[in-house]
Amino acid sequence: MRARPSRSWKPAISVVVLLGLASAQAVADGSRHGLSAFGDLKYRADFKHFDWVNPDAPKGGRLAMIGTAALITFDSFNGYILKGDAAQGLGNLFDSLMTRALDEPDAVYGLVARSAELAPDRTSITFRLRPEARFADGSALTSADVVFSFDILKAKGHPIYRQLLRDVAKAEAVDAHTVRYAFAGPAARDVPLVVAGLPIFSQAYYATREFDQTTLDPPLGSGPYKIGDYKVGTFVSYKRREDYWGKDLPVNRGRFNFDELRYDYFRDRAAGLLALQAGELDLREEFTARDWMTGYDTPAVKAGRLLKLTLPDEAPSGAQGFFLNTRRAKFADIRVRKALDYAFDFEFTNKAIFYGLYTRTESFFENSTMKARGRPSAAELALLEPFRDQLPPEVFDEPYRPPVSDGSGKDRKLLQAADKLLSEAGWQIKDGKRVNGKGEILDLEFLIYEPTTERVLTGYVETLRRLGLVINVRRVDPAQYQRRVKSFDFDVVQTRYVLRPTPGVELRNYWSSEAAGTDGSANLAGISHPVIDALIAKAIEARSREELEIAMRALDRVLRAGHYWVPQWYKPAHHIAHWDRFSRPAKKPRYDRGIDTWWYDAAKAAKLKSN
């Protein structure tokens, strides 16, 4: 099992995949066809397509799947505001100025914009649009629409936009096909490219509609798909647009090959697995270790009709764990938080439930060069030393690593260590329960929304009760879960953070003091620490990959020493099961599954049907 990531920061938001600026090959007018955070771009201005696509892939067929694992219901087609639960796949409706190359850690190339030019003093960036860009109703996409999209997102969009765009002073239409963004000062490394990834909305469409309201009216976009059939909370489908204006652009060739994309919703994973095996679904990414190891022992799998595929995942694995809401007084003492970590027996859980498929997560930046290792380097110390009096001593030693148990589920040494920490924090045993000097009981509520999470919690809950804590596992419906997570109305939730290979301004949304008080942010633990804020600023300001990695390792040390979570597990691979009616390029993009490069293979489908 891998935890479904929290939706509190809206998956439809695409800006968090964007990157910064460096040199790139100039086009005729002196602007750049692409932008990169560090170093030159891989693809030249005259590139025909990305290396990880089949440019001749046929179009057709349907792909029905369970998409992002966190999304198990929807009630809106507006994925850019805090209200409501947005449907999966809405990013297929909207184009942006530039789009990411998924085989590079930090590069974007022109989509609606054919080029971009950063001012020498970094106080503005100018994009030149393609005159042929069109919305799905045939109306022209102009710089006025780009300006409108920026203004409405900053004023009425999800709170994350106000954080990401706070250093952008304004957007202005120079002419119908030229737009300039002005910054409040010299732009941080990736702020110029944040604006390049904003979704573009039609100003005319929203002249008669409220942007900041949930809606089931299919919105007007300019992307490769439009909304087809749907049933609230059950499924939503997208139909490929034959008239898509950008289908032959280099960044789009070999992609968006299915005539229909369908996302199905299930209240639990067992139902989703049964739907796949019954042929109601075409593809499912498997997040449950037990099901991956035992749930596919079927005639279809043995005959090679239903395929199990393991794809390497080279993207940072991020941080998965039980996140502790430090906004609540019970978690104020760091010793309480650390005791909760000592009480979790990963080795037993991995052996008893996960068939040994996972590795213990240690870092907030697992499976990446940003993970802190060993004692701080001289460069890390240069960032940390000015804050020595505000940090625990262990920050300047080996980074914190979760304890390793004997795998019994009842490791006496770890239980004794947890007991000692709780007692030192003022929580003594009285009548079998942990109480403080005020007579208050140490109780915890784990907020969940699916039964599979209860399997993981069983052993952990037993251990915590053995330590005298009063534990409640509260399972609520998905809509209530989302509401409570967005408003931080919980003690403990299980989630997974995943950052892009070159993190930047979105770091504020995860761990800044500002995000701790912003509903809908990704700072579920409520982390509010001036040193963390300062290190986030250093990471955002980094001018080289080396500087970035140094700042991120220093940040990792401080986050890990704060014990804001009980770290869980990771695996650097995607487990995907699909019926053998598709083909895919020989090479997948390094930092993505690459599903949008697959295509419906009529010959395979016919063979599958005949069998």
Across 14-23, 36-45, 121-130, least confident range: 14-23
CA–CA separation, 358 and 206 (whole Å): 47
| Mean pLDDT across the chain | 91
Nearest to 531 by CA among 510, 509, 554: 554
pLDDT digits (tens, 9 = 90+) for 56-109: 999 999 999 986 655 678 999 999 999 998 999 999 999 999 999 999 988 999
Q: What percent of the chain has pLDDT over 70?
A: 94
Across 98-102, 275-279, 497-501, least confident range: 497-501
| φ, ψ (nearest 5 deg) of residue 421 | -65, -45
Domain that holds residue 355: 319-570
pLDDT at residue 29, rounded to an integer: 54
Query: Does 552 map to a domain?
Result: yes
pLDDT at residue 611, rounded to an integer: 80
User: What tokens were used for 446?
Assistant: 């784990």
- The Cα-based distances of 43 to 79, 158, 251 in angstroms read 31, 33, 10
DSSP bridge pairs for 183: 168
Structurally, how many domains does the chain consist of?
1
Query: Does 580 map to a domain?
Result: no
Residue 443 neighbours by CB under 8 Å, 6+ apart = 330, 469, 470, 471, 472
Q: What percent of the chain has pLDDT over 90?
A: 79
Query: Does 167 map to a domain?
Result: no
pLDDT at residue 190, rounded to an integer: 83
Query: Does 420 map to a domain?
Result: yes
Contact 266, 555 (CB under 8 A): no
CA–CA separation, 430 and 436 (whole Å): 9
pLDDT digits (tens, 9 = 90+) for 404-425: 999 999 999 999 999 999 999 9
Q: Which CATH number goes with the domain that contains 416?
A: 3.10.105.10
pLDDT at residue 253, rounded to an integer: 98
pLDDT at residue 37, rounded to an integer: 80
Enclosing H/E stretch for 474: strand 470-475
pLDDT at residue 288, rounded to an integer: 85
> Residue written as tokens 């625990």?
392
Highest mean pLDDT (candidates 39-43, 48-52, 354-358): 48-52
pLDDT at residue 68, rounded to an integer: 62
Neighbours of 254 (CB within 10 A): 19
Please indicate whether residue 387 or residue 288 has the higher confidence score (pLDDT): 387
pLDDT digits (tens, 9 = 90+) for 160-207: 898 889 899 999 999 999 999 999 988 778 888 889 999 999 999 999
Nearest to 262 by CA among 241, 295, 245, 239: 239
| Mean pLDDT within 211-227 | 97
Please indicate whether residue 382 or residue 500 has the higher confidence score (pLDDT): 382
pLDDT for residue 30 is more than 60: no
User: What tokens were used for 101?
Assistant: 């190359």
pLDDT digits (tens, 9 = 90+) for 423-453: 999 999 999 999 999 999 999 999 998 888 8
The single-letter DSSP state of residue 476 is: -
pLDDT at residue 14, rounded to an integer: 39
pLDDT at residue 13, rounded to an integer: 38
CA–CA separation, 304 and 46 (whole Å): 41
**Distance from CA of residue 173 to its chain's centroid?**
32
Query: Does 226 map to a domain?
Result: no
pLDDT for residue 542 is more than 60: yes
Please indicate whether residue 24 or residue 68 has the higher confidence score (pLDDT): 68
pLDDT at residue 17, rounded to an integer: 33
Confidence at 554, pLDDT banded by 50, 70, 90: very high
Query: Does 360 map to a domain?
Result: yes
| Mean pLDDT within 347-360 | 92
| Mean pLDDT within 501-515 | 93
pLDDT at residue 552, rounded to an integer: 97
Nearest to 218 by CA among 192, 198, 195, 241: 241
pLDDT at residue 3, rounded to an integer: 41
| Mean pLDDT within 481-509 | 92
CA–CA separation, 183 and 533 (whole Å): 21
Across 13-22, 303-312, 373-382, least confident range: 13-22
First to last CA, the chain: 32
Full DSSP string of 182-249: EESSSPPTTHHHHHHTS----TTGGGGS-TTS---SPPP--SSEEEEEEETTTEEEEEE-TT-TTTTS
Amino acid at 117: E
Query: Does 531 map to a domain?
Result: yes
CA–CA separation, 40 and 25 (whole Å): 8
- The Cα-based distances of 391 to 218, 329, 528, 600 in angstroms read 51, 20, 13, 55
Amino acid at 208: T
Confidence at 5, pLDDT banded by 50, 70, 90: very low
| Mean pLDDT within 302-321 | 91
Please indicate whether residue 553 or residue 25 has the higher confidence score (pLDDT): 553
Full DSSP string of 367-436: TSTTS--SSPPHHHHHHHGGGGGGS-GGGGSSPP-PPP--SSS--HHHHHHHHHHHHHTT-EEETTEEE-
3-state SS, residue 15: helix
pLDDT at residue 18, rounded to an integer: 33
Residue 426, classified by CB atoms within 10 Å of its CB into exposed (0-12), middle (13-18) or buried (19+), is middle
pLDDT for residue 16 is more than 90: no
Query: Does 540 map to a domain?
Result: yes
Nearest to 362 by CA among 375, 373, 378, 377: 373
pLDDT at residue 67, rounded to an integer: 64
Q: Please report the sign of the dihedral spanned by the C-alpha atoms of residue 500, residue 504, residue 506, residue 509.
A: positive
Confidence at 487, pLDDT banded by 50, 70, 90: very high
